[in-house]
Structure 1
Amino acid sequence: MSRGDHDDASSDPLYERLKTFEGRANTTGGRGKDPVNEPMIRHWCEAMGDAHPAYAGPDAVAPPTMLQAWTMGGLSGHAGLSSAYDEMSALLDAAGCTSIVATDCEQEYLRPLRPGDVITFDSLIESVSPRKTTKLGTGYFVTTRMDVRVDGELAGTHRFRVLKYAPARAGRKPESKPKPEPAPLRPRPVINRDNAGFWEGVAEHRLFIQRCTGCQTLRFPWLPGCNACGGQDWDTVEASGDGTVHSYVVMHHPPFPAFDPPYAVGLIELAEGVRMISNVVGAPYDKVRIGMPVRLEFQRYDEDLELPVFRALPGSEG
């Protein structure tokens, strides 16, 4: 998401009030509800399709990207922890910035986490941007930082950034003669040297899966090295196109240009054993089910963009 255009901060009294929250503690003395443990590591790895041997066995470590998972409070939250963030959020709500969208996160890993480690954490509001105008609306980017520790030693840092904004449509008066606008385009995929071969295959209506030439492990999405043996050499196999819905979500809100919610996004298990995320088409969004058989096809969205999607087989609706 674009960080938007700067507005004049000198004429924004709300921004001056928001700046007073910078550096304020959001959580002090937080404690993970559970120690680092093998069942949660196993569930995480199964969900991610990550079979790296470092995450299992007597010398197992937790995947670094689980850093935030050990600090989460679940549905019941963390009792007794004050939150400057809630106070600041109420201030933004009162100013009309009632919508929120996550924009990005950054993590730094300083030491591995192992089963049995007890997690403590502190967090603060690190920064608030001046008022900015984006396609979603006008608001403020808020960055929080969480420091995660084990026995007082810093294990990692997690920064999370959101946009708290007033929706662009709020209060907009309809024009007497609306001006026709060109149809919005879907975002373009990021193509780099690690995944260029995949997109070249898509252009030929072929779905390629990477295969390590050392241990023969298939992997998807494309990576520069094998997550099983660490090998750097690889070739490809072409997917048959058969698959099943392993899991799915239905996207309802917020609407973005070029997307028409609600629609189903599936985690598709291909016949070859790897999984990929794509749209499920050919069935109503509320009829998509886990285990539904699907078939690969390529859908054109505009003259420059064609993407792999998965069509529900006839008679497979739940």
Structure 2
Amino acid sequence: MTATERTATGPAAATDEGGRIEAAAREIAAAGPSAADPARDPVNQAMINNWVEAIGDTNPVYTDPDAAAASVHGELVAPPAMAQVWTMRGLHGVRPADDPLRRMTDLLDEAGYTSVVATDSAQTYHRYLRPGEHVAASAVLDDVVGPKRTALGEGWFVTTRTTWYVGDEPVAEMTFRILKFRPPEAETAPGGPDGNAASEGRATTGGKGDDGAGRGEAAAATVLRPVVTRDNAFFWEGLRVGELRIQRWGGTLRHPPGPMAPDGDLDAEPDYIVAAGTGTVYSFVVHHHPPVPGKRLPFVLALVELDEGVRVLGELHGADPGGVHIGLPVEASFDRIDDDLTLPAWKVRS
């Protein structure tokens, strides 16, 4: 169903503002794909090297000429998941005027839907890219649905579809959906002055079986809930009972959990270990702005390297943001949001 077909029968038609947004979405969708926007740089080995190092992808066909030559590719190739990387516009880049996401974003900003969160993305790869190829991207508006009441506030879901080309050949596609929402007015985050878990009204637990009281229904509704799949369900189930479970493929630990063994063995089946929950801060960010529903600013998000060797992300409670540093010893705690959701968190090790 198209954007116009969806919004024309939905709540948008009930208001002048909704009708204006609906009409603009119809116009943008009818304009079709944007002009192909060429990448700033061709596919290049330097960027591939940096990307695989950051991601931790050790497949030699991306970096080792001899291994690549002996593979089915016959030469070095780029990781397919880098498709979007090549057309990122850099720190000061601006989307073209005919870009449908830019047009819808500008329109919804003017209507007061000034906040944004990405909700989901799906990519399709038609072939591997090779160093030296020059990619261009074109996007089309797939649909616009709203206004919808969400835990973040009233908003519109905007879905675009981007196709990457080398010449006239499509090499990759991505469906990307965002929620543009209107921040609730005069909303006070449920938290005390220290911004820690206790003052926010949620239970923070430090061990198996200590499930606390949870937080109120209104506060829990503001939390962005994870997508639970058959590949990661064991992780979320473990958190609910106070266990930090890490996926294991044979002798290899992996986090976040994945659907396939790191070595590509399609017959392998994973299990998990229960981590001790101790580690050190590998990286962190102190979040000052923008406001986050249910959070008192500033708060610290820490990527912790566990003693077992994998890294897990969570909020760091009870620490002065100015005193957080790389290598800080921490231990796991568990933020019980409600009966269905517990989030991983950290506290400074005493």
Q: Which residue of 1 is the match for residue 62 of structure 2?
A: 55
1: CA distance, partners of 2:77 / 2:99: 33
Tell me the SS of whatever aligns to 1:42: helix
Q: Structure 1 residue 88: deviation in Å?
A: 4.4
Task: Give the secondary structure class of the aligned counterpart of 2:23.
Answer: helix
- More strand per residue: 1 or 2? 1
Task: Tell me by how many angstroms 1:113 deviates.
Answer: 1.9
Letter in 2 for 1:280: L
Bigger mean CA offset, 195-204 vs 277-286:
195-204
Cα shift at 1:73: 0.7
Q: Which runs of 5+ in 1 are unaligned?
A: 172-180
SS of equivalent to 1:279 = strand
Q: Judging changes above 3 Å, is the alpha-carbon distance between structure 1 residues 274 and 124 closer, same or farther for their aligned structure 2 residues?
A: same
1:119 CA displacement: 1.0
Q: TM-score, normalised by structure 1?
A: 0.78
Which of 27, 31, 35 is the equivalent residue of 1:20? 27
Alignment of 1:191-270 (within 5 A): 191-213=228-250, 216-230=251-265, 232-251=268-287, 252-257=289-294, 259-270=295-306
Q: 1:31 to 1:207 in 2, by over 3 A?
A: same
Question: Counterpart of 1:272?
Answer: 308
| Structure 2, unaligned runs of 5 or more | 1-5, 69-75, 188-215
Matching residue of 1:117: 133
Alignment length, in residue pairs? Answer: 299
Question: What residue identity is the alignment partner of 2:219?
Answer: P
**In structure 2, distance between residues paired with 1:209 and 1:109:** 29
1:15-56 alpha-carbon deviations (Å, 9 max, x no partner): 223321114367423111222223322332333333344433
Contact kept, 8 Å, 1:203 with 1:306, in 2: the verdict is: yes
Pair 1:92-2:135 in alignment: no
User: Over aligned residues, Cα RMSD in angstroms?
Assistant: 3.3
Alignment of 1:9 with 2:13, yes or no, is yes
Q: Which residue of 1 aligns with 2:330?
A: 294
Bigger shift: residues 68-77 or 282-291: 282-291
CA distance in 2, matches of 1:247, 1:123: 35
Q: TM-score, normalised by structure 2?
A: 0.72
Q: For residues 298 and 50 of structure 1, what CA distance do their matches in structure 2 show? A: 30
Hey, what's the Cα distance between the residues in 1 that align with 2:239 and 2:109? Answer: 44
Report SS of the residue matched to 1:244: strand
Task: Give the secondary-structure state (helix, strand or coil) at the position aligned to 1:43.
Answer: helix
Distance change in 2, residues 1:66/1:101 (3 Å): same
Runs of 4+ in structure 1 deviating by more than 6 angstroms, as ranges, are none
State the partner residue of 2:181. 165
**How far apart in 2 are the matches of 1:128 and 1:30?**
23
Which whole-Å CA distance do the structure 2 matches of 1:305 and 1:78 have between them?
38
* Contact 1:128/1:143 (<8 A) preserved: yes
1:41 corresponds to: 48
Q: Distance in 1 between matches of 2:126 and 2:241?
A: 43
Q: Secondary structure at the match of 1:18?
A: helix
Quickly say closer, same or farther: Cα 1:268–1:115, change in 2 above 3 A: farther
Q: What is the one-letter code of the residue matched to 1:226?
A: A
Kindly provide the amino acid, as one letter, of the partner of residue 344 in structure 2: P
Structure with the larger helix share: 2
Q: How far apart are residue 71 of structure 1 and its match?
A: 0.8
Letter in 1 for 2:11: D
Aligned in 2, Cα 1:204/1:123: closer, same or farther, shift over 3 Å?
A: closer
Deviation of 1:203 after TM superposition, in Å, equals: 4.8
CA distance in 2, matches of 1:95, 1:183: 26
